[in-house]
Amino acid sequence: MEKVYKTSSASETQKLGETFAKTLQRGDFLALYGNLGAGKTTFVQGLAKGLGVANRIISPTFVIIRSYGLGIMNSGSESKFYHVDLYRLRGEEDIEATGLLEIIQEQQSILAVEWPEKLKSLLPKKRYDITFSSVKEDERSITIIQRQE
């Protein structure tokens, strides 16, 4: 299933993220592709809003991983929304140091990852591939593909 969207402002991209968030389930993994400035973080701001995250989303470029609480599940475990930016990551050894592999295993959390190509073979097979590209100054093309295991 592939869907293509066009947005003509940052707020439209946020709105798309907000709407898309309503279709997500715990355990979902979102791979966000696209050049710097293509709109990945802007989309994540909308996702967070749609998921009910209160905090303002800031780029995790220096921290790599930021987590936001989504509440406690019936199981007693905490459900989180993770925003991950792997731009500064170098090798697979670096990935182990971030703790990201453990986070990917969390069944109750939702992950949105910028620069997911850095995960290579560690990229989950069941995921959404969301690709951002700049068309013009304020225009972006956003393609969402749902991939199954």
Residue numbers of the site for ligand ADP (CB under 6 A)? 7-10, 12-13, 34, 36-42, 114, 132, 138-140
Q: Is the dihedral angle over the CA atoms 25, 2, 84, 48 positive or is it negative? A: negative
Which C-beta is closer to ligand ADP: that of 29 or that of 43?
A: 43
Q: How many residues can be counted in the chain?
A: 149
Please choose, from the candidates 31, 56, 39, the residue with its C-alpha nearest in 3D space to the C-alpha of residue 117. Answer: 31
Please, what is the minimum distance in Å from the beta carbon of residue 124 to ligand ADP? 21
* Rounded-to-integer distance, Cα 35 and Cα 128, Å: 18
Please, what is the minimum distance in Å from the beta carbon of residue 125 to ligand ADP? 24
The residue whose Cβ lies closest to ligand ADP is 39
Give which of ligand ADP, Mg ion, none residue 109 binds (C-beta under 5 to 8 Å, depending on kind).
Answer: none
Which C-beta is closer to ligand ADP: that of 34 or that of 116?
A: 34
**Cα–chain-centroid distance for residue 141?**
17
